[in-house]
């Protein structure tokens, strides 16, 4: 007899004896029902414990086998074979991590180079302007020739700005816009109905939709605005 059987026997022996003659049939049914419930409870506990142990063993094997699914582990596979498979997967994982780290460092270097040399292409274009300026200064021609050369270089500069999406802000006659214009003075003008740029002291520039610098302007104010006379 097993230890569990012995314990059950001891429990029965230590319990009070049942006097069948003095107990009613209802009392006998109660005792039998309680005994049956105790046996069923013990069986359910044993099954739950066995299921827990099986789950823990399965999790341990899956963790040891790493990427190898539990369904692919053969019943007769030895511990050495499992260790070899785990080692191979570990080595593969380490190589993958090393490749990822190298990729991360390479991308970081590329971003740093992109930041350091972000003006490389525009500068390569603008050095050609310097070449033309040096040729103009070294030319033996008269003032008119020099002026003509400077005009050609200015045209070249404007073409380069256009190629790099830089646009000039010509503000004269435009409604004053503080997001594009910087007013240095204002004066009354009865001919304008709203603040208007009357003179541009320095052109502004935009690159795509971003302002490089505002246009420096003088602003004409309507006569009834009360802002005239400051010039």
- Domain map (residue ranges) of the chain: 38-117, 119-164, 166-231
| Domain 166-231: which CATH number of 3.40.50.410, 2.40.30.10, 2.30.22.10, 2.60.40.1730 | 2.30.22.10
Query: What is the longest distance spanned by two Cα atoms in the chain?
Result: 144
pLDDT score for 27:
56
Q: Looking at the predicted structure, is the pLDDT value of residue 50 above 80?
A: no
Spatial CB neighbours of 12, under 8 Å, sequence gap ≥ 6: none
Compute the mean pLDDT over every residue in the chain, rounded to the nearest whole number: 76
Report the run of H or E that residue 185 belongs to, with start and end: strand 181-188
Q: Which residue did the predictor score with more confidence, 140 or 26?
A: 140
Residue-wise pLDDT tens digits, 141-171: 888 888 888 899 999 999 999 999 999 998 9
Query: Which pTM does this prediction carry?
Result: 0.51
- Max mean pLDDT range (14-18, 32-36, 192-196): 192-196
Number of neighbours of residue 199 by Cβ within 10 angstroms: 14
Residue 215: how many other CB atoms lie within 10 Å: 23
More confident residue, 44 or 39: 44
Is residue 211 within 8 Å of residue 181, measured between CB atoms?
Answer: no
Residue 141 pLDDT: 80
pLDDT, tens digit, 9 for 90 and up, residues 205-227: 999 999 999 999 999 999 876 55
């Amino acid at each position: 007899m097993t230890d569990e059987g012995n314990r059950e026997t001891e429990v029965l022996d230590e319990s009070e004896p049942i006097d069948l003659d003095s107990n009613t049939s209802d009392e006998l049914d109660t005792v039998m029902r309680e005994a049956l419930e105790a046996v069923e409870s013990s069986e359910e506990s044993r099954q739950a414990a066995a299921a827990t142990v099986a789950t823990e063993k399965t999790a341990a094997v899956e963790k040891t086998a790493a990427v190898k699914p539990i369904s692919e582990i053969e019943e007769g596979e030895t511990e050495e074979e499992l260790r070899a498979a785990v080692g191979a997967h570990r080595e593969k994982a380490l190589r993958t991590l090393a490749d990822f780290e190298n990729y991360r460092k390479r991308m970081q270097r590329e971003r740093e180079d992109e930041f350091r040399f972000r003006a490389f292409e525009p500068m390569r274009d603008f050095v050609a302007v310097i070449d033309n300026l040096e040729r103009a200064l070294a030319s033996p021609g008269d003032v008119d020739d020099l002026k003509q050369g400077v005009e050609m270089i200015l045209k070249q500069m404007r073409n380069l700005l256009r190629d790099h999406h830089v646009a000039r802000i010509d503000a004269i006659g435009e409604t004053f816009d503080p997001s594009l214009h910087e007013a240095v003075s204002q004066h009354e003008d009865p001919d304008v109905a709203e603040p208007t740029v009357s003179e541009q002291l320095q052109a502004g520039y935009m690159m795509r939709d971003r302002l490089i610098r505002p246009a420096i302007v003088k602003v004409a104010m309507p006569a009834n605005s009360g802002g005239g006379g400051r010039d």
